[in-house]
Amino acid sequence: MIELIPAIDIIDGKCVRLTKGDYQQKAVYSDSPADIAKKMETIGYKRLHVVDLDGAKSKHIVNTAALQSITTSTLLTVDFGGGIKTDCDIETAFRNGASMVTVGSVAVTSPELLDTWIERYGAERIVLGADVRDGRIAINGWKEDSELELHHFLERYVKRGIRNVLCTDISRDGTLTGPAIPLYKDIMAAFPDLHLIASGGVSCMEDIEKLDEAGIPAVVFGKAIYEGRIDMKKLWDWQNG
């Protein structure tokens, strides 16, 4: 059964969602990310994906207080990303309660640094962020495109023990147009041992059911929750019924 991972994206300490990573297309859903997290935990969810969008844009962690508020008020396993560029950043994330961190840009710009983090903290605490636009990896809050092709990028880190990969199809993120199932199936065919987390485009329970049928291990979803397209309780009951 597919793992369900709700997402909370944070700007200025508030729960928001962007469309295709565009900071000009921002919708604010709550002033308290911690309250949203507590509601998810009450339903039964165990894991949460939290993104510091200010951090991704400014290239260092910004919303530390929001992270700490979530981790001190819930028992959720929190995977935190956005702005983790230095030893100080990753230490800050873990010190403030993150169980795992998602790292994307550093994996492109400073692979040797990520190698040291894998060795120091363990591959199981690192989620490799593979943000894809036109088959290549985008970085720094999706504002820049690299020359790295997706499969070459993944291959390097799989060889270093990485198993958790969060793959976002940027063209679908926040659009509610459905997930890029062919992309995820292609990744799983090439790297069958990955714990691949699909991200981007999920609009309804049927989308998640299709990912499950396709054998995708996990899914992150956010906007469909906040727009009322997914009933979190019904989804949890579906998974655990």
| Residues designated catalytic | 9, 131
Beta bridge partners of 128: 103, 165
Phi, psi of 200 (to 5 degrees): 110, 120
DSSP state at residue 2: P
Rounded Cα gap, residues 7 and 231, in angstroms? 14
Letter for the amino acid at 84? I
For residues 158 and 188, the answer to whether their CB atoms sit within 8 Å is no
Closest CA to 94 of 71, 76, 60: 71
Q: Which phi and psi (to 5°) does residue 233 adopt? A: -70, -45
CB 100 within 8 Å of CB 164: yes
Count of H-run helices and E-run strands, the chain: 11, 12
- With 0-12 / 13-18 / 19 or more C-beta atoms within 10 angstroms meaning exposed / middle / buried, residue 219 is buried
| Residues near 206 by beta carbon (within 8 Å), at least 6 away in sequence | none
Nearest of 164, 221, 222, 172 to residue 196 by alpha carbon: 164
